[in-house]
Each structure stands twice: as C-alpha cells, then as structure tokens.
Amino acid sequence: MVAFYKKPYIAILSRKIAGYIGFINMLWLDIYGIMSKPNESPNVLLGRRIRSLRIHKRWTQQKLGEKADINYKFLGEIERGQQNPSFGVLAKIANALNVRLPELFRFEPVISG
C-alpha cells in the first residue's frame, strides 16, 4: 500500500496550493475592479498592471523603485496613472520585476493551468 503522506506528495500539493492562491488573488483583483474598468486611460491600466506585478512579489514601491533605479514617488504616480513613463523607464521596471516588457501591457488576468 502506498503512503500518501510522504514528502514528495506534500511538495506537489504545496505547489498546487500556491498556484491556486495566486489564481484566487488575481480573481480578487479583477472582481474588485483593480485590473480594468471600461473606458479607462491606458496610463491607468498600465499603472494597475505594474502595481499588481509588484504586489504579487510582495514588494513595496520603495523596493521596486530601488531595483528599477527610479524614485518611488515617481513609481507611485505611474501606478496611479498620473505619469506617462518613457520606454526606458518601462524597460527598467520590467527588468526589476523579472518580466518581459510586453507583460506590462497584459491588462486582462491570465489563467494558467
């Protein structure tokens, strides 16, 4: 008889639970209108996407600002859609978040299996 309480099964179950928690967090963000609303400016959508990626890593604005070599107050303005960041600033943010640049423009939640 196979014992299902051995460590490999626990590790697999832990990874699946972590994946489900990430998925639930993204659903929560979408349900409460954090990801997108109709007729919002591209700056607001971009800012919300950057914020969601930052929060997913559990980073503060200050930590992301340090890693991207930009001022955290400027980052906050970007996240609120109050600033129009240059291509260079977006590249720094994507690099700091360890994502490809196009990932910053994925405004709809992604469901992965």
pLDDT, tens digit, for every residue of 24-79?
555 445 544 545 556 788 899 999 999 999 999 999 999 999 999 999 999 999 99
Of 47 and 4, more confident: 47
Question: Residue 100 — left, alpha, or beta (φ > 0 → left; ψ -120 to 50 → alpha)?
Answer: beta
End-to-end Cα separation, the chain, in angstroms = 30
| CB neighbour list of residue 68: distance below 8 Å, 6 or more residues apart | 75, 89, 92, 93, 95, 96
| Whole-number pLDDT of residue 112 | 47
Instruction: Tell me what percent of the residues of the chain surpass a pLDDT of 70.
Output: 61
Q: What is the mean pLDDT of the chain?
A: 78
